[in-house]
Amino acid sequence: MKAILVPTDFSENAWNALKYGMELYKGRPCTFHLLHVNPLLSNKREKKPMLKTPQLVEEQILKKSRVQLQHLLNRIEELPKIKEHTFVTHTTYSFFIETIRAIIKEYQIEMVIMGTKGASGLKQISLGSNTAAVMTKVKCPLLAIPQDAIYRHPREIAFPTDYRMPYSQNVLDTLEEMVMNTKASLRVLYMSSKDIELEMEQQRNKDLLQDFFNSYELSFHHVDGNNLSTAVQYFTQSREIDMIAMVAKNLNFLQRILFKPRIEDISYHVKLPFLVMHE
């Protein structure tokens, strides 16, 4: 049974991410761990955590969170029943990232699903600050669902790459699991500003992808030009891409391609989920 962690702040963005995950894994036995973290804030003047007694935590914080989690379960019950899915709730008063890591370890979480929102967090790209933190600090596959995403079963998954980084077994397994679960076609997108031959190392990495995914629907594509962001935009639209996969180690490179600094400039990916894979 696949273990999936869905952190929630009870917003519509978090609800949309949960619904997307339920649809994505419909027909597959899954346990969804619904987690609400009440952040342990710090005293800005002294830069120390503001601690409360266990009694105050229970009465003022956790009790309210449990009520909200029960309301979330009630809302799930109103959706079309997916008999293969079970739901477990958790709430804590602690640091967000430390809690995420602990839950992943204790329950052997295989995937984190989170919503994205706003122009805050990681250098004003379209990510919620918590999602950005998990993406960069937690070594677990993350499926980030934009706030405007409407579920459509993935038929084509784009994997942008420059072929310069060897693909670890964890990356290959995570990508294969998604391709196998969705039966989607994998479109490997090579991005470069110049139309030149691949270096030997790049060719080896490309050949590795070819060999590893030879039993799946796979194709290789190349975009070039001075404006790579625009090139990727045209590619995703022309292919009707349903999901973008990326390697976390290459995140800075991909941010230049997939995001722009001004939120009003972002257009082509605002409804596309993206899968972040770790080595």
265 has a pLDDT exceeding 60: no
Average pLDDT, the chain: 83
Q: What is the pTM of this model?
A: 0.86
Given a contact cutoff of 8 angstroms between Cβ atoms, the answer to whether 33 and 1 are in contact is no
Strand, helix or coil for residue 34 = strand
pLDDT band for position 183 (cuts 50, 70, 90): very high
For residue 210, report the phi and psi dihedrals to the nearest 5 degrees: -60, -45
256 has a pLDDT exceeding 50: yes
Query: How many Cβ atoms are within 10 Å of 29's Cβ, its own excluded?
Result: 11
Side chain identity at residue 127, one-letter code: L
- Radius of gyration from C-alpha coordinates of the chain: 20
Residue 69 Cα distances to 34, 83, 95, 177, angstroms: 8, 20, 19, 30
Domains of the chain: 2-146 (3.40.50.620), 156-277 (3.40.50.620)
Given a contact cutoff of 8 angstroms between Cβ atoms, the answer to whether 65 and 49 are in contact is no
Tell me which DSSP letter residue 27 carries. T
Residue in 175, 97, 179, 170 with CA at minimum distance from that of residue 138: 97
Of the listed ranges 14-23, 139-148, 176-185, the least confidently predicted one is 139-148
pLDDT band for position 182 (cuts 50, 70, 90): very high
Predicted confidence (pLDDT) per residue in 81-117, tens digit: 888 999 999 999 889 999 999 999 999 999 999 988 6
Residue 277 structure tokens: 């894979």
